[in-house]
A and B are shown apart, each in its own frame.
Chain A
Amino acid sequence: MARVEAIQYGDRKVYSVSSFNHGVAEWLQRLPTVWVEGEVTELRRNPRWQSVFFTLKEPNDGACLGVTIGRARFDALRLDLTDGERVHVFGRPELFEARGDFRLRALSLERFGLGDHLAALERLKKKLAAEGLFERKRPLPFLPRRIGLVTGNDAAAKQDLVATITARFPPARILVAETYVQGPLAANSMIEALREVSSAPEVDVIVLSRGGGSFEDLLPFSDERLVRAISACDVPVVSAVGHEQDTPLCDLVADARASTPTAAARLVVPDARALLEQLDRTRAGLARGAQAVLERRRGRLLQAHERLRRAPALAVERKRARLEHAAGRLRALSPRATLERGYAIVRAREEIVRSATAVVSGDALEVQVADGRFGARVE
């Protein structure tokens, strides 16, 4: 091991590379042993090597930390780790003096457990809720021009949703983006697919779909990056992730959620048959309404015509009644009634004879009775 010795050049103290590295390495050893959390990437294990190497990556900002762990120790843990898995690493910082490489020397390694996931999820949920990410709910289009479907690459889940949507609305156009929906690569893959369908022309709504799964299976649907991608998506997103208890965060951030493919279909497309029936009913109502208006008009016209037909006769009848009334009164008052009882009016020289002394023998008289007049002569 090199010693930390400086060479003097006048009043300048200069270290050799190995001295410098050794000095830093020694100083680093004073740091405490800690737990570090991150995702495993670039795992390199070779039976001929003494150590196993991997890079621990921070999912949110991509910060990296090299990790080395003794191969025997690593194998004894029987973790069977793959890239993308989240782990807790217990170790201390170390400088590989020969290369000046800084890394974490791992003493132990634990896969991120269920309890850890739950706690982390709860924290993330609180944080995102505080940011207001779960509050915005955009209305879904009544009739989307195209539907973006982000789904697993297993045929069953995809077919299920496509079949349900087209059964409900046969002319529906669906753009399918298949992605990983499980495992360490799922979140990134889904974000990529989401971006792809949301930027495709005419896509008015996106369904993010996955059949049921265990809590661990559904973890990618609670990935912070995916949740933020959904929130930032220009197109409304429906979360159609089958789950039993723990709601994945994508359900909370999505504009709508559906627990089954049928429910998802109901959200994104209208029922074509019901729509047509309603249209038919409306059209029938329209025809009935027009017919009713027509009939009311016709009825009024007929009524007016009927009155027109009757009016003149009615007017004549009224006039006749009024005339007969006047005539009746005339006759009641006139002397005719008296004449009809047998009296007569006698006139001599155009004057009514009121006294016997008014005439002398031989005078011409005019006698008026009820139905006419006749002449007479005084004897």
Chain B
Amino acid sequence: MSAEPTFEDAQRELEQIVERLERGEAGLDEAIGLWERGEELYTLCVGKLDAAQGKIEELARRVDAAKP
């Protein structure tokens, strides 16, 4: 992957992978590849969510501090 996908794109891809695996069409090699890709996407998404959460908490702290 050249450019890092957005959270939504990553999530969508992850879900497509899950659907594909659920249908049981993928061969073992493909399934393993899909799984590895899925895990990668999962890690990416969790990272993005953690970052967002951190930003939100930081902002909330700043707003609370600005209150009289």
A contacts, CB < 8 Å to B:
309, 312-313, 316, 319-320, 322-323, 326-327, 329-330, 333-336, 345, 352, 368
Contact = CB atoms under 8 A, between A and B. Distances in A.
Contacts of B32: 334-335, 345, 368
Nearest to B42: A327
Nearest to B16: A326
B14 A330 contact: yes
Given A313-B53, A323-B45, A330 B28 contact: no
A351 to B, nearest CB: 8
15 contacts: A309-B63, A319-B7, A320-B46, A326-B11, A326-B38, A329-B22, A330-B14, A330-B18, A330-B38, A334-B34, A334-B38, A335-B28, A335-B32, A336-B35, A345-B32
Interface residues of B, number: 26
A191 B65 CA distance: 86
Main DSSP-derived SS at the B contact region:
helix
B42 to A, nearest CB: 5
B53 A330 contact: no
A320 B35 CA distance: 19
B18 A329 contact: yes
A354 to B, nearest CB: 9
B14 A312 contact: no
Contacts of A352: 28-29
Given A330-B18, A333-B18, A319 B35 contact: no
Contacts, number: 64
Main DSSP-derived SS at the A contact region:
helix
A336 B36 CA distance: 10
Contacts of B57: 313
Nearest to A323: B45
B18 A326 contact: yes
Which of B18, B22, B42, B60 has the largest number of chain A CB atoms within 10 A?
A: B18
B28 to A, nearest CB: 7
Interface in B9-48: 11, 14-15, 17-18, 21-22, 28-29, 31-32, 34-35, 38-39, 42, 45-46
Contacts of A309: 60, 63
Contact of B31 (A316, A326, A329, A334): A334
